[in-house]
Structures are given as C-alpha cells and as structure tokens.
Amino acid sequence: MIRVPPAFLLIPALIASPAGATELTDLTEAERTALRSEIREFLLEEPGILLEMIAIIEGEQSDASAERDRDLVLQFRGEIYNDGISFVGGNPDGDVTIVEFLDYRCGYCRRAHGEIAALLRQDGGIRWITKEYPILGPDSLFAARMAVATLRSLGDGAYLALHDVLMTHDGSVNDATLEEIALRADIDVETIEDAMQDPGVQQHIASVRELGQSLGIRGTPTFVIGDVMIRGYISGADMQGIVAGVRQAAN
C-alpha cells in the first residue's frame, strides 16, 4: 500500500477551496519547504510513481506526434504517393502502398531491404515506392544520383537491379567505384555516366528532399503506409501488421 504524505493532502484541500489553485501560491516559505520535503521523501520511497508519470507523458507525446504525422501525410498525400517521378515497384495496382525514404549508405535501410523484398514476395497486393533521400554525405548523394539517373535513362528493371546492388555494396560509392557497381548491376556504364549529368537528376533529388523536409524527416529509413508515418526501422513482421491494419480500415 502506498503511503501518502500529509503534505500531499494540502493540495486537494487548497484546490477545492473557493480561491482554487491560487491559494497554492499563498503558502508561507516554511509551508513550501515542508511540502517540497514531503514530496521528495515520498518520491524517493515510491520511485515507481515517477516511472508511471514518465510513461504517461511519453504516451501522450507519442499520441500527439502520431496525430501530427497523420496530418502531414494527408497534407502532402499527392507528393508522397503520386509524384510521377519516383520508382514504383511491387504491384503498381496494389491496394496498399508502402513508401520508403531511403539512403543507400544507411545501415538500417540495408537491414530493411531484405525484409521488404520478402514482404513483396509474400504479399502480391503491395505497391512499393522508393524515394532517394541522401543525408549521410557525398557517397550517399552519389549513390542517389546513380539510382535516379538509372531510373530516368534505363527504366524500372535496371533501377531495381542497381538498387539491390547499392543496398549490398561494401565500400565507397563514387567515381572510382561507379564502373564496378554498374557492371554488378549489369547496366551500361557510359549511359549512366551521361545520365548523371542531366540537371533533371538533381531536380528529382531536390524535390524529394523538399518533401522530406516538409514532413520533418531527419533520418532514414522513414516509411509511410496509409496515413501512418514510421520514423525509423521496423521489422518485416511489424510492417506486415501495419499493412493488415490499413486494409482492415479500408473495408
């Protein structure tokens, strides 16, 4: 049984008085000192109360953040799901869309890569959109330019092959390794080198960056599924659960 210190009993009595909470400010300095001492002693004896308070506060903050994210997804829904420039894989006519903001040098993006591939194999009703969001330095930007250039010049099949290679490539991604990476993906090196100089590639990346900033995305991976935004890595099983929830809500 939790013991409530006598000083705590002052608080409801004061709040219930005609003057309300304002009387809490009318305590003498001695009464304030006694109240603080009682509260401190109580919390030291019952530290679980603090943990409960922290859990409640974190839960409220999490709920508020999720609500803000839902509002953002609704506000930028067109740019997220139908920007006309991003790669669309899986089932283009699927009933649920997973949008992934990614960085090819991000360890958690690489971890999610295989799980997403497995989910797409298991569930033929998922539409998958990738958005290059390079935030980890020059190699990240080079990889994003290479991927976007491939998509624009060689199409979806070549892009997907390169995407797989970039997600599993160990080492630098730059001019010195471009040929090696292109050969592994079985795409023409000269075509990609030329395509990477196209201003449209940088415009594509800038457009995605602007969208990401509008959504408050500061890390990768970030996923959008339905009206849910997931900021960070989640397992394939968790993703599958969210997809099921989106389907259920639509029915």
Residue 101 has pLDDT above 80, yes or no: yes
Residue 24 has pLDDT above 50, yes or no: yes
pLDDT at residue number 20: 46
Q: What is the mean pLDDT of the chain?
A: 87
Write the pLDDT tens digit of every residue in 185-217: 999 999 999 999 999 999 999 999 999 999 999
Peptide bond into 199 cis (omega under 30): no
Nearest residue to 86 (alpha-carbon basis) of 29, 192, 159: 159
Residue 100 has pLDDT above 70, yes or no: yes
Nearest residue to 150 (alpha-carbon basis) of 124, 121, 189: 189
Residue 25 has pLDDT above 90, yes or no: no
Q: Which is higher by pLDDT, 16 or 183?
A: 183
pLDDT at residue number 56: 61
The tally of CA atoms less than 13 A away on the side-chain side of residue 215 is 33
Q: How confident is the model at residue 235 (pLDDT cuts 50, 70, 90)?
A: very high
Write the pLDDT tens digit of every residue in 70-99: 999 999 999 999 999 999 999 999 999 999
pLDDT at residue number 51: 65
pLDDT at residue number 4: 46
pLDDT at residue number 177: 96
Nearest residue to 185 (alpha-carbon basis) of 143, 216, 214, 215: 143
Helix (H) or strand (E) run with residue 9 in it: helix 6-16
As a whole-number percent, the residues of the chain with pLDDT over 70 amount to 82
pLDDT at residue number 16: 45
Write the pLDDT tens digit of every residue in 102-151: 999 999 999 999 999 999 999 999 999 999 999 999 999 999 999 999 99
Residue 166 has pLDDT above 70, yes or no: yes
Give Cβ neighbours of residue 34 (< 8 Å, ≥ 6 apart): 7
